[in-house]
Structures are given as structure tokens and as C-alpha cells.
A = this chain, B = another copy of it.
Amino acid sequence: MSETFTACLIIVGNEILSGRTKDANLPFIAERLEKLGIPLKEVRVVADEEPAVVKAVNECRAVYSYVFTTGGIGPTHDDITSECIARAFGVRLIRDPRAVKLLQSHYEDPSQLNEARLRMANIPEGADLIDNPVSRAPGFKIGNVYVMAGVPRIMQAMFEGIAPGLRGGPPVLSRTVSTRLGEGVIAEGLSAIQGRFPDLTLGSYPYYRIGMVGTSLVARGTDVARLDAAAAELRQMIRALGSEPIEAPPKE
């Protein structure tokens, strides 16, 4: 598997840390990045506090090919991500004329574009804007950091805009084989298969659904033939243990 490209997601938001809001951006970004061959290696959720955001951004941008952030670019006082990114990069936060123009195009009545909304045009100097086809207020890219909105449908639209410009490796693919057997029964055989497929990552995930207990075995990697070979060995192992593989894992 290519390890050349890696990504980190930083979720900025007290509402996630308090449990009030359930984040919906992680799974979307994770799945899209796998298709782009840029595996997500770390996620951090940080508070709406400047030191926390600056520290996370600077630590992560030094380690990963790409850093994506979600949240904190709206018009209210608790939206501090843009200031934090400017601080992290040691650049000024400026009222970006391109962003002002975008906001002007969104509000028919010019009086609606008040000072609070104009804060959404404050962008670190030197950043490129990220298009927001939903509500105009842009995200931005500076260095290897991509700053996006927290509202899922806006974030998703922003991501689709930047995706074609991201360089990645071969897409990360997966094969899943499920079984009613417990993890303890299959662990030894699974470990042996992992040993024969060092180029793949094999994971074992117990599931508990109404009336159903079992384990999903997931092989991840970039080579279709190797994935198919590993899946065949997983099925064979399950049969050797006296059970039948389940091809379609039960829905979560």
C-alpha cells in the first residue's frame, strides 16, 4: 500500500466535545479520501479555543501530507478557526476582497451583509479560497491545510470542489467477509493470514445486532488481486472452523 500520502482531520467545535452534536463529517471525509488514495491517519476534535486549535494545526501539518479542518468559520464570536490558522502560519488575517465579493453576491439586500457576516471574509493573507456553492462564504487553503465549514452539506460541497486538486496514491479498497464465529475463535487463523499478506491491513470487528452476534473481517489495500486472494483465505478459514462465511455483513 502506498504510504506516500496521508491526511489528518481536525474538527473544531465545543458542540462535538460536549456530545451535543454528533459529527457527520469524519465518515464522509474518510471514505472520500480512501478513494483518492490519501488514507486518513488521525482525527482530532479540539475546543473553540485559540491555543488548542493553533497547536493541533501546527502539530498535524508538520506530519501529514494534508490537513483538513471542519467548523468554526461562521459569523459568530465562537467561530475562531480563521484567526487560529493565521496565527498558526504566522500571517495576518485580512479582509479578503474576493471573499467580500462572494458574500455581496449572496445577499440581495446589501444591509444584510452586516459586520458579523463580513467576518466570514476574514482570510489568512496568501490563502486560496475554497468555493462554497451552497451559501457562498468561502473556505480556504493555506500550505497543506484546507479549512472547511462544519455544516455537512456545505463541507461536502467544498470537499468536492477541492478533491480534483488533491494528489493521492492508488485508491484504498476493501473486502469484507463476515461470520457468526466469535473473534476468539478466528484470531489465530486471522493472524496467520495477516502474516501471509503483509501488504494488506486485516481488521476484525465484532458486531452485536438484534438476534445476531458475529465478526466482520475487513481486508484493506490497493491491489485487487491480493484483496481477492485474502478474502478467499478468510472464507476458507471460516469453513475450516465449521462455519459458513456471510458475504454481505449485516447493516449497522
A205 to B20, CA, bound (A): 10
Which of A17, A183, A184, A202 is packed against the most chain B CB atoms within 10 Å?
A: A184
Residues of B within 8 A of A44 (CB): 42-45
- Classify the interface of chain A: helix, strand, loop or mixed: mixed
Query: Which of B17, B42, B116, B186 has a CB less than 8 Å from the CB of A45?
Result: B42
A34 to B17, CA, bound (A): 10
Query: By the criterion CB–CB under 8 Å, are A203 and B48 in contact?
Result: yes
Identify the stretch in A73-81, A140-148, A156-164 within 8 Å (CB) of chain B at 4 or more residues.
A73-81
Mask for A38-49, Cβ within 8 A of B = 1, else 0? 011111111110
Query: By the criterion CB–CB under 8 Å, are A74 and B204 in contact?
Result: yes
- The residue on B at minimum CB distance from A192 is B77
Give the residues from 24 to 69 in chain A that come closer than 8 angstroms, CB to CB, to chain B: 26-31, 34, 39-48, 52
A182 to B180, CA, bound (A): 50
Q: A44-B42, A47-B41, A208-B153 are in contact. Are A190 and B77 (CB under 8 A)?
A: yes
Query: By the criterion CB–CB under 8 Å, are A184 and B112 in contact?
Result: yes
| A194 at interface by CB-CB < 8 Å | yes
Query: By the criterion CB–CB under 8 Å, are A77 and B18 in contact?
Result: no
Residues of B within 8 A of A2 (CB): none
Smallest beta-carbon distance A112→chain B, Å: 7
